[in-house]
Structure 1
C-alpha cells in the first residue's frame, strides 16, 4: 500500500468507500483551512510553529462519529482529546504534512505534546505545536509549505490576514505567498487519464494549490 495512503488510513481521513482505483483518486477527499504562527526567540532561533487545521464539514462529521455519548450534538471532551492525540501521533509518518527548510536545510520536528481538538459550528479543528528536533541555529531564512504529496488532502490557507503570523522577533519579515488556485470541496482537479498515466501528476497539480510562508531575518 502506498506510504501516504497508509498514513491517511491511520488518520481515519479516508471515508468508507474511498479506497477506489487510482483513476478515482484524482482529487482530494479532505479539505483543510490551515492557520499557523511562527515563534522565534530574542536571538531569532526558531522556538516552534503553532499549527491549526480546520476540516471541511463532511470530514468533521465523520471524525466525531460516536464521540457524543449524551447525543446532544457535542462530542465528549475526553474523546476529543483522545482523537487529537491519536491523529497527531499518526501524522509523524507523514512529517505532519509540513515541509520546512531553515537556512536552506530541511528541518525535522519532534513529536508534539500539546495536541488538542475542538468541534464548533460543525467543523473540527486540530491544533498542535511543531518544535525543531534539534537546535538549528538562528533563522536567516525559513521556508514552510503544508501539503500532501498525493493530494488526498487539500491544504489551503484560512481566509484573512491572520492565517499566518510571526511572533517573537519584530526585526524579521514575514511573507505569505497564497496559492495560485483554490481547491474547492468536491472539485475534480486532475483528469482521471492523467492521474493514472503520469507519475507525479497529483503532486504537480497540488503544487498549484499550495501556499508558501517565508520568514527572513537580517
Structure 2
C-alpha cells in the first residue's frame, strides 16, 4: 500500500519523523527504533451514498513523549497545560502532518487515496498522556466505497503506531449495510521497547518499513 507522503531521499527518512515529533530529545533506553509509541483510534465516516466523508483520528502518546511535548505549556504550574497553548500545539502538529503526510495509508476500491491536510486539530492532556485529535478528508469526494483499506504506520518505524485494546478502537459511522473488519497485528510494540538499532534502520529502510508494518493493524471496509 502506497503512502500519501512526499517521496524523499533515503538519508532523510528518519529525519522527518524526528523533526515532526521532536522525540530525539526524549531519553531512550537505547538508540534504537522506535522512539515514540502511539495508540491510534479511527472513526470512518461515510455518507448515505457510501462515499467517504472523513477519517476522525485520535492519537494517544506514550508518557515520556507526552511529558516532553507539554513541557513549558503550564504557565500556572498546576500540572495542567494552558488550554490556549495546547490548542497551538495541536495546530502546529497538524500543520507538520499536512506537510509531511499523515502516516495514514489508504486505498479506495483498489487505488491509492489522496487525503487533504488535517483539519479540526485539538489536543488534550489527561493522566500524563497527550492525545492529538484531527480529521482527514479525501481530496476528491464522491466515489462510493466498495472497499476501503486503511493502515496507520510510520514507514521509518521511528513512531510505533498501535491499537487500543478496546473493541471500538476503529468505528464505522454511516454507510448503510457496509461492514468493518479490523485485523490486529500479530505483534504489538510495548512502550519503551527497542526493536531495531538506529544504524540498521538508517542503512536498511526497507527492513524498518517491514517491521513497522508487522506492528500496525489493518482496517477493511466493504460495501455491497
User: Distance between the aligned counterparts of 1:136 and 1:91, measured in 2?
Assistant: 24
* 1:173 match: 179
What TM-score do the two structures reach when normalised by structure 2? 0.88
Q: Which residue of 2 aligns with 1:82?
A: 88
15, 19, 25: which one pairs with 1:6? 15
Which deviations, in whole Å up to 9, do the C-alpha atoms of 1:108-155 show, x marking residues without a partner? 111222000000010000000100011250000000000000100000
Taking structure 1 as the reference length, the TM-score comes to: 0.91
Q: Which runs of 5 or more structure 2 residues have no equivalent in the other structure?
A: 1-8
Answer whether contact 2:97 2:117 (CA < 8 A) is retained.
no
Q: Secondary structure at the match of 1:132?
A: coil
Cα RMSD for the two superposed structures: 2.1
Which residue number corresponds to residue 193 of structure 2? Answer: 187
The residue aligned with 1:97 is 103
Match status 1:160 vs 2:160: no
Q: Are residue 127 (structure 1) and residue 133 (structure 2) matched?
A: yes
Q: Please point out which of 138, 145, 165 is paired with 1:139.
A: 145
Output the CA distance in 1 between the equivalents of 2:87 and 2:31: 31
Contact 1:148 1:154 in 2 (8 A): yes
Unaligned runs of 5+ residues in structure 1 are: none
Q: Which secondary structure state, in structure 2, belongs to the residue aligned with residue 185 of structure 1?
A: coil
CA shift, 1:62, in A, is 0.2
Corresponding pairs, count? 214
Residue in 2 that maps onto 1:56? 62
Give the aligned partner of residue 24 of structure 2. Answer: 15
